[in-house]
Structure 1
């Protein structure tokens, strides 16, 4: 192997890190664009938007909601908030896949050291790292997708990225009445950037089972169906795009099932500034509200559309990531 090839395959080289991140970012954008209409509908269901609450809970409801959006706003209505999605997903996916490559190399430098626990840990840590840096963009994207109507002459309000960001920044929540001191309110007043982290704790917690099980399933299935060669120098057979798609789809199904309740709670907290502008909604209050409204089923509202979205999205994401790495020579 030449010195140039050695650098290309050195996972800690700048060449590898940059190209791995680029492949991940492109994969995330392609995958999100494929499922953008489903993502819009899912957000409306999870956030319990009053205009679309009647459709939640059934497979057909997702298509009915999508049809209503299309009738009222055309194709662009199905992609409302997608610009913010792309602004978020490129750095999110780039950091996630890049971090996974690096963490995997540290925890599992050889195939003999690959275990399911280490795969899960590598996935969880990479997901947590990416969400830490990109969460404000996700919050703004949800705010953009949530709006379906306006009191301004009955016309639909479609906030731009900057308008949604300004809306979040101007919110002035009060400390909960049960709080013995206004410490929380004072903290958000002094550090307005924290307003862009509504629901961050539940997101970070939910990222552990989501990214962890996703990369665990991905790594486990690839090890089972694309095993290494006896001499350890490669694999018995090269992975194909179809194999990557299938394994990615299974990984998406498992990760979505494991983490979905956290996602529902997160969406409710993210739109809390719209539904409860006078205060901050907390974990306990949000969970209690969902339970009182629909019981345990409330934590799985929109799961059917979640599968419709996350399975192809994860499949495309992993497949394009691997394809991109091959094309970029890493």
Structure 2
């Protein structure tokens, strides 16, 4: 079997044959040149990593290099990777690496990288093309468009060829400890599941291996736990937002006066009224949305090997609508609890029973229509702006630098804010309808929207948006920290 690959060593291309017993069909001179070039490269990398110039590499020095090489990996991953490299390479168990240990480790590590490179390089021309990247991701169970495969390739590509040489591949993964293709792909296309109090437009895509081993559900659990904690921290602002949406115009209420009024009426504990429902709905909503998203993707894709951005948006929006329909009664109960007075309801179940007794079962779906309509502008703007900002960043950096955690968080925060601005009037109408004691109280969606516009103008349709924006930054920050910690606890 011909397994010819071509790879570059210090601007010098060497043809190498890989046989079953690693029999290399090269001349002694070529092998000496390769060994010399490799040793020089290892020495150069060793000197760069040896920050204090004591002739040894410590885990802390490796961590600094890992942070600089890819902003996409978390601080926990940085520590795990650094300690993992030291543990694998440290032959005398002194917890530091001298050059001999480092060179031996790198030589073995590069053999694994070379095999992974050869596995992707299906036509054995010594370069990995976007089509080969796409084929590899499809084999792992990830549906990506050709453009997404091109974008992934550009993250590593340094010479602008939109294909990957061995040296580009090797340099990108040289400090990543695993040589298993599934792990390398995860590192390559690192993404975040950050909860800012609103649902993700499109659930993340997971590989077949991640689904089969349960890693996908562990990610969802980590995201759910992060969402629960971040929502609990920002719950007072969320309740103020609801109070402003429902009572703001009548009570001439502001953020501070609203907080004071709630504390005066029910004590500090009342600031978290309705938060229990907000947390309870995270698990079923995330699970149903993920399951529906996967099923709808399969239906849209059919016999095709890829799914377009538009189809992914349609799948995400449809999955969101299905999940929202199933858990919507909890949304109504959350709003009723938030605007209730102390002692009005004994808890979530009591609130639900009283709503049904007073207004009938359909009252648990009051405001459903504006909620459903609001998914489209929010999801469309959120996804479009997020992807656009991410691509602008990648292009400005020549396609070589991964966006990283802070950039992805900034893109997600800004895109979500824009989505909220577009859909907020519908969200306000939904909340007003949810809070109604009877169906006839303020009319339906159109009647209520017209009434708000007539009495309060544009400002009335955006009442309560200030606390909504104020909670975004702390929600994102808390959610990210807890999400990364949860991944460590869950072993992912």
Q: TM-score, normalised by structure 2?
A: 0.50
Question: Residues 252-277 of structure 1, C-alpha deviation per residue, up to 9 Å, x if partnerless?
Answer: 211110110000110111012x2x36
| Runs of at least 5 residues in structure 1 that lack an aligned partner in the other structure | 56-60, 150-155, 173-187
- Given that residues 24 and 98 in structure 1 are in contact (C-alpha distance below 8 angstroms), is that contact kept between their aligned partners in structure 2? no
Aligned-partner Cα distance in 1 for 2:444–2:471:
27
Contact 1:248 1:318 survives alignment (8 Å): no
Contact 2:243 2:258 survives alignment (8 Å): no
Question: Of 53, 56, 63, which aligns to 2:251?
Answer: 53
Q: Look up the match of 2:282.
A: 89
Q: Which of 254, 263, 273 is matched with 1:70 structurally?
A: 263
Q: What is residue 468 of structure 2 aligned with on the other side?
A: 306
The equivalent residue for 1:152 is none
User: Residues 284 and 302 from structure 1, CA distance in 2 versus in 1: closer, same or farther, beyond 3 angstroms?
Assistant: same
Matches of 1:258 and 1:166 in 2, distance apart?
34
Native 8 Å contact 2:281 2:330 kept in 1: yes
Q: In the TM superposition, what is the alpha-carbon distance from 1:41 to its structure 2 partner?
A: 0.5
1:254-269 to 2 correspondences below 5 Å: 254-269=418-433
Instruction: State the match for 2:380 in structure 1.
Output: 212
Taking structure 1 as reference, are residues 49 and 303 closer, same or farther at Cα in structure 2, changes over 3 Å only?
A: closer
Give the equivalent residue in structure 2 for 1:196: 364
Which residues of structure 2 form unaligned runs of 5+? Answer: 1-178, 187-205
The question of whether the paired residues in 1 share the 8 Å contact of 2:393 and 2:403 is answered with no
Change (3 A) 1:17 1:118: same
- Across the aligned residues of Structure 1 and Structure 2, the Cα RMSD in angstroms comes to 4.0
Distance 1:74 1:237 in 2: 50
Checking the alignment, whether the CA contact within 8 Å between 1:123 and 1:216 is kept in structure 2 is no
Deviates more, 1:241-250 or 1:299-308: 241-250
Q: Which residue of 1 aligns with 2:207?
A: 9
Partner of 2:59: none
Q: Assess, with a 3 A threshold, how the Cα gap between structure 1 residues 325 and 22 changes in structure 2: closer, same or farther.
A: same
**Which is helix-richer, 1 or 2?**
1
Q: How big is the shift at 1:195?
A: 2.9
Contact in 1 for aligned 2:289/2:322 (Cα 8 Å): yes
Count how many residue pairs are aligned between Structure 1 and Structure 2: 290
1:82, 1:141 within 8 Å by CA — same for their partners in 2?
yes
- Greater mean deviation of Cα atoms: 253-262 or 308-317: 308-317
Aligned partner (choices 447, 453, 466) of residue 291 of structure 1: 453
Change (3 A) 1:53 1:198: same
Q: Partners of 2:355 and 2:322 in 1: how far apart?
A: 23
Specify which of 334, 353, 377 is matched with residue 166 of structure 1. Answer: 353
Q: Which of 43, 48, 58 in structure 1 is aligned with 2:242?
A: 43
Alpha-carbon distance in 2 for matches of 1:263, 1:137: 16
Asked which structure has the greater CA Rg, the reply is 2
Point out which structure has higher relative CO (alpha carbons under 8 A, 6+ apart).
1
Alpha-carbon offset, residue 168 of structure 1: 1.3
| 1:139–1:270 contact (8 Å) kept in structure 2 | yes
**Superposed displacement of residue 304, structure 1:** 1.7
Could you state the TM-score of these two structures normalised by the residue count of structure 1? 0.71
